[in-house]
Amino acid sequence: MKKQVHNRPELKMKRKSLRNNGSLIEAIMWNRLKAGQLLGKKFRRQHSVGFYILDFYCPEKKLAVELDGSAHDNPEAQSYDLKRDRFLSDFGIRVLRFQGKEILSNLNGVIEEIEKNLK
């Protein structure tokens, strides 16, 4: 029997908790990604692949958008992110990473970068 990779049932409560308790930065980004606003592409919020939960995911383009806060600034977290990105790459998923401060200071630039990667 093949194991489910996307949205594993055992992560359902964790995904729901992350959606319900997201940061301001995530809410700002979701407001721009939801309902096909970006080139008509559908994004999912807190979508899991394997045991990793992605902030935002466009299944049609296999594109993940990750918002990194200061917790990602240390070497241990960066090593974890690299391992995670490699795992996702094995499934053909490209990962775009943005710092939270970029969302606040240059949201339009971030949206333009995501749009470039959706084309």
Residues listed for the chain = 119
- Residue 111: what residue type? I
Supply the pLDDT for residue 91.
Answer: 95
Domain boundaries, the chain: 9-118
CB 55 within 8 A of CB 66: yes
Read off the pLDDT of residues 71-110 as tens digits, 9 standing for 90 and up. Answer: 656 788 889 999 999 999 999 999 999 999 999 999 999 9
Measured distance CA(22)–CA(19) in Å, rounded = 6
Give the CATH fold of the 9-118 domain: Endonuclease; Chain A (3.40.960)
pLDDT at 42 > cutoff 70: yes
Question: Shortest CA distance to 4 belongs to which of 58, 71, 61, 50?
Answer: 50
The CA R_g of the chain, rounded to the nearest whole Å, is 14
